[in-house]
Chain A
Amino acid sequence: QKEVEQNSGPLSVPEGAIASLNCTYSDRGSQSFFWYRQYSGKSPELIMSIYSNGDKEDGRFTAQLNKASQYVSLLIRDSQPSDSATYLCAVNPNQGGKLIFGQGTELSVKP
């Protein structure tokens, strides 16, 4: 079992729709969870962090965390073509600055 799993996609949504990205992790001791966006040829860009169960909203982005189910998700409302990128889920297994990444979900937003 991979430590952090994401649907590889590609996930295709129409412009203006809600994109839902999911991630599961195996280490129950994990405390910190992050979503990164990576455009082709660029480095990952941090878009959300979440540490407590529940929802965290930032603009069009909402991160959801359920530690009991070991599940993290990212919702993107009013998706725009500029949101087309690979979204990486990252988990800190309570080991200092070590992040474990999922394989990423490729999102395509069609005009």
Chain B
Amino acid sequence: KAGVTQTPRYLIKTRGQQVTLSCSPISGHRSVSWYQQTPGQGLQFLFEYFSETQRNKGNFPGRFSGRQFSNSRSEMNVSTLELGDSALYLCASSVSQYEQYFGPGTRLTVT
């Protein structure tokens, strides 16, 4: 079974721009969760989508948004990028709310 895939793997953006990251879950997994990982804050939960609905949201500003499509693929969008948004963005998929399997991540650098 193929694992979680994320595209792109690396991104360099300028402050003020916006970015869209994509995540394809493991086949059959309907839940996709997004996380931000930085050296200072560690792994922090952004939001979770299940059956095209946002089921949970973390403590991030409204510049961070996401959506899920009918095939369970998910995208997250960050608008008006700030330097502090530089991070590894990880998505994880699961059957429901149990074991989550992570993709390789998207490394975002904001200059």
* A residues with CB within 8 A of B: 32, 34, 36, 42-46, 49, 88, 90, 92, 95-104
Contact = CB atoms under 8 A, between A and B. Distances in A.
A109 to B, nearest CB: 22
Interface of B: 31-33, 35, 42-45, 48, 50, 55-56, 58, 88, 90, 92, 94, 96-105
B102 A44 contact: yes
B102 A98 contact: no
B45 A99 contact: yes
Contacts, number: 64
A44 B43 contact: yes
B55 A46 contact: no
Nearest to A36: B102
A97 B31 contact: yes
Contacts of B44: 101
A2 to B, nearest CB: 10
A46 B97 CA distance: 14
A75 to B, nearest CB: 20
A18 B41 CA distance: 29
Nearest to A44: B102
Nearest to A49: B99
Nearest to A31: B97
A44 B90 contact: yes
Closest 4 CB pairs of A and B: A97-B48, A101-B43, A96-B55, A43-B102
A104 B43 CA distance: 9
29 contacts: A34-B99, A34-B100, A43-B88, A43-B103, A43-B104, A44-B90, A44-B102, A45-B102, A46-B100, A49-B98, A88-B43, A92-B97, A96-B31, A96-B48, A96-B50, A97-B31, A97-B33, A97-B48, A97-B94, A97-B96, A97-B100, A98-B33, A99-B33, A99-B35, A99-B43, A99-B45, A101-B35, A102-B42, A103-B42
